Amino acid sequence: MSALGDRSNGAGEVREEACAADVFRRGLLERSKAGLVEIAAAIGLDTSGGVRELVERILQANRDAASLASRVLALDPAAGWGLALLVASKRSEWPADAWREAMLSLGADARETWTLLGGLGLAVLVDRLETAQPAPPGQKPQKPCERPFETLSSATLILVPEEILKLGLGRIRLPHAQSTTTRVRQVREADAMDRLLRLSALWQLVDAAPPRISQSGVLFKRDLDRLEKAQTLAGPAPEAPLQMPRPVEFWLDLAWSIGLVRPEPDGDRILPARYDFWEENAFHLDQMIAIAWLSPESSAPVSPEVRRDAALRTALILRLAGAMGDEWVACADLADALASSRARSSLLSAESPAARSARGKAIRKSSNRDEQVRTVEAVLLEQAYSLGLVRTAEAALGEEPLVSLSALGRYALGLGPPPAPPQPFEKFLYVQPNFEIIAYRQGLNAYLLGQLARFADWVRLDAAVTLSVTQESVYRGLESGLSPAAIAAFLDRHAARPAAAAFTEALADWSRRRERVIFHPSAALLEFARPEDLEAALSLWSEDARPERINDRLLLVEDDSSIPYHAFRLTGSRDYRKPSEACVHVQPDGVTLELDPARSDLLIDAELERLAEPSGSNSRSGASPNDPGARTYRITPRSLGSALRAGMTAGGIDEWFRRRTEKPAPASVRLLLLGLDRARGRKSLKAGREWVLRASSPEIIDGLLMYPETASRLGERLGPRAVSASVRDLPELAKTLAALGYDLENELRLENGDDDSDLA
């Protein structure tokens, strides 16, 4: 986690540089004016002016490379080591706790060194913005430079000016190496390809099945188990002095830090970088790996155990850098130095007695010599050796191992020229009849390895590595832009003898099979009103870039930036990643649906045909931009029945109406749906003959419905001045009304007892 952003590309680096300078300025601004005056005086600057002027003057002095170099050379040795830690890891900031730990390992007092560097304007302390804690209510926030240095955590960064990184380690004092020797035997160095092969194997495994990151920020166990079973990634390194206990997480950490694998945006998976990572970074890959390993922190989803000694890595490498190229240092001597440094630092520490007592136990434990030897060996013989940064030897048969920086190690630290490239070995592989490729490591380099990994899977990483060419691996190569001819040409160029005819035929056959089905995840389609318009539009593209004709009114454009919009009049535009739009009008009968050709899309026909029947002269080829007659569909009991049988529900149909017509399903459609709902049984409607009594005013009906002798003979009120009455009750009702002074005018002249049987 960096407070200074991503370092992944050129534009990012420019922003980063400006950002790092801004953060350094922020650190200076947090100092008191008196502190800034002291800094200015210490480096011989004018001490007049306000805070901002003093800060800008100090920054300006740091930008003067010659002045900066002479100031750095004149530093106390420990202060030089403090800067060297950052320069070696090519980072302008380190977490304060990791820097303190590394300084402790070098036998220096971190607090004193910080005070010295800070007093010369060569370092500042800043809190990370994302982890800064607000001060308790009523209290002034304490600046990091005001807090005891021993209490600073990884939430605080120690920063140096970017210009110091440009000085390089060659112009900074390095810690003295321990007792050295130049007479050694059995010099061993890791195979230069091994680290790249492991990373390439991881890249392929991640591509085949992207592992997932759990809530706790590490890989899910099943994914980790799967990767640990892959011999190409987790198998023992040939001839390594020691084997790593957690190889998968070690390589994953490095792959993550150099960008070979990356987190899925908005997801929890780890994805591989694009194939061109190998081409783009072939030349600098070793250096990128070294810098990633020397980094004191990482955001990779690995357990903290993997990076437990991260701060120690740079300190130990710096101790080796202090030796000359042919001088060797014993791991045991490094361990002794580490133990005594830690013991001495604990005595020098300005911690409170309580804190010192608590730390004392840990220090005593870590001062144990065996423990220190184990730690040094883990860092140098397991990790740095497998990255090619150190080589090993022994002074005499069976003696403890000696180490020194390799040519690559010196180059990665900026202390030596690039290692000599291996002798060219053009014909380094054999294509076997069983579709395996045997490749000699001497012929491989990062570029060729990346090319091979595109279309073949690593199977075994022995002295000669074995790859397997399968249908899936060839598809991966084809998807990355290779053609069967390009694969065959690559193998012809580097194979000691031509591949069997069956091999090249299989390549061609797999390629043809792959062309049988093409999937367009986000194509653009142009829909024309008339075939003549499509023909006219086709002439707008050059012969070699013409879109593909789908039918007489649709063109498929693979690259929508090639569409000549100036020649077109857009009658509609629809983005299929967005929710569908309303494009259907419902006629008053509720069952006739009319399609709006201007707003319709390619999905609507399929949707409509699932629940309605075409009526009139509908076309199946999609809505037409200039279709003068809108197409109509009709919902029938049969069409709705089919929709329900196909899995649609009444709720789904109502949702469809709301989405496509912006209204709920019409009553007539709901009527049909209720009729089709077998679960509720067959519905019945009751039909019967009734009289309608009409009165001259609502008051009369109100009274009739309230008066007991009339109310019992009346039915449902039909309106303000109308009420129903049963035919059977009519004679009695007429008598009652007569008694009340009302005449009943019988227009149909029906007699008592007329039939009122159900008509149903």
Partner 1 sequence: MTKPENGRRIPVKLHRQTALIRVNDPLLAEELLARKSLARRIVGRLSPTVLLVAPESETFVLEELRRMGHSPRPARGEGDSGP
Q: Among the candidate windows 250-258, 349-357, 583-591, 595-603, which touches partner 1 by CB under 8 A? A: 595-603
Nearer to partner 1 (CB atom), residue 602 or residue 750: 602
Compute the least distance from the CB of residue 593 to partner 1, in Å.
17
Nearer to partner 1 (CB atom), residue 83 or residue 526: 526
On whether the CB atoms of residues 147 and 126 are closer than 8 A, the answer is no
Q: What residues between 440 and 459 interact with partner 1 by CB under 8 A?
A: 454
Question: CA end-to-end span of the chain, whole Å?
Answer: 80
Q: What residues between 185 and 244 interact with partner 1 by CB under 8 A?
A: 203, 207
Q: Among the candidate windows 146-154, 409-417, 601-609, 689-697, which touches partner 1 by CB under 8 A? A: 601-609
Q: Which of 320, 468, 337, 477 is nearest to 404 (CA)?
A: 320
Sign of CA dihedral 363, 365, 369, 372: negative
57 counts as binding partner 1 under rule CB under 8 A: no
Q: What pairing do the DSSP bridges indicate for beta strands 632-634 and 613-615?
A: antiparallel
Whole-angstrom distance, CA of residue 115 vs CA of residue 145: 9
On whether the CB atoms of residues 182 and 326 are closer than 8 A, the answer is yes
139 counts as binding partner 1 under rule CB under 8 A: no
- Please pick, from the candidates 564, 628, 651, 681, the single residue that binds partner 1 as defined by CB under 8 A: 564
Whole-angstrom distance, CA of residue 392 vs CA of residue 351: 39
Q: Torsion over CA of 637, 639, 643 and 646, rounded to 10 degrees?
A: 110
Q: What residues between 392 and 431 interact with partner 1 by CB under 8 A?
A: none
Whole-angstrom distance, CA of residue 241 vs CA of residue 361: 32
Nearer to partner 1 (CB atom), residue 372 or residue 511: 511
- Please pick, from the candidates 516, 645, 678, 683, the single residue that binds partner 1 as defined by CB under 8 A: 516
- Please pick, from the candidates 554, 695, 722, 750, the single residue that binds partner 1 as defined by CB under 8 A: 554
On whether the CB atoms of residues 511 and 474 are closer than 8 A, the answer is yes
Mark residues 256-275: x for contact with partner 1 by CB under 8 A, - for none.
---------------xxxxx
On whether the CB atoms of residues 350 and 365 are closer than 8 A, the answer is no
Q: Which of 726, 724, 731, 732 is nearest to 692 (CA)?
A: 724
Phi, psi of 204 (to 5 degrees): -70, -40
Q: What pairing do the DSSP bridges indicate for beta strands 436-440 and 401-405?
A: unpaired
542 counts as binding partner 1 under rule CB under 8 A: yes
Q: Among the candidate windows 62-70, 182-190, 362-370, 520-528, which touches partner 1 by CB under 8 A? A: 520-528
Q: What residues between 621 and 660 interact with partner 1 by CB under 8 A?
A: 621-623, 625-626
521 counts as binding partner 1 under rule CB under 8 A: yes
Contacts of 261-269 with CB under 8 Å at 24 or more apart are: 261/202, 261/203, 261/206, 263/213, 264/210, 268/212, 268/213, 268/214, 269/210, 269/211, 269/212, 269/213
754 CA to centre of own chain? 84
Q: What residues between 278 and 317 interact with partner 1 by CB under 8 A?
A: none
For residue 250, give the 3-state DSSP assignment.
Answer: helix
Compute the least distance from the CB of residue 244 to partner 1, in Å.
26
470 counts as binding partner 1 under rule CB under 8 A: no
533 counts as binding partner 1 under rule CB under 8 A: yes
Whole-angstrom distance, CA of residue 146 vs CA of residue 131: 18
Q: Among the candidate windows 384-392, 433-441, 570-578, 710-718, which touches partner 1 by CB under 8 A? A: 570-578
Q: What residues between 493 and 512 interact with partner 1 by CB under 8 A?
A: 510
- Please pick, from the candidates 541, 654, 726, 737, the single residue that binds partner 1 as defined by CB under 8 A: 541
User: What Cα–Cα distance (Å) separates residue 604 from each residue in 507, 583, 597?
Assistant: 42, 8, 10
Compute the least distance from the CB of residue 396 to partner 1, in Å.
49
Q: Which of 167, 189, 196, 213 is nearest to 258 (CA)?
A: 196
Q: What residues between 11 and 50 interact with partner 1 by CB under 8 A?
A: none
Compute the least distance from the CB of residue 650 to partner 1, in Å.
20
On whether the CB atoms of residues 79 and 158 are closer than 8 A, the answer is no
Nearer to partner 1 (CB atom), residue 242 or residue 525: 525
Whole-angstrom distance, CA of residue 568 vs CA of residue 313: 63
Nearer to partner 1 (CB atom), residue 495 or residue 534: 534
Whole-angstrom distance, CA of residue 126 vs CA of residue 132: 10
Nearer to partner 1 (CB atom), residue 362 or residue 567: 567
Compute the least distance from the CB of residue 265 to partner 1, in Å.
10
How many of the chain's residues bind partner 1 (CB under 8 A)? 72
Q: Among the candidate windows 326-334, 378-386, 572-580, 707-715, which touches partner 1 by CB under 8 A? A: 572-580
Q: What residues between 66 and 95 interact with partner 1 by CB under 8 A?
A: none
- Please pick, from the candidates 603, 650, 744, 750, the single residue that binds partner 1 as defined by CB under 8 A: 603
Nearer to partner 1 (CB atom), residue 506 or residue 623: 623
707 counts as binding partner 1 under rule CB under 8 A: no
- Please pick, from the candidates 365, 520, 682, 749, the single residue that binds partner 1 as defined by CB under 8 A: 520
Token pair of 258 as six digits: 């150099």
- Please pick, from the candidates 370, 515, 544, 755, the single residue that binds partner 1 as defined by CB under 8 A: 515
Sign of CA dihedral 149, 154, 155, 158: positive
Q: What residues between 473 and 492 interact with partner 1 by CB under 8 A?
A: 475-476, 478-481
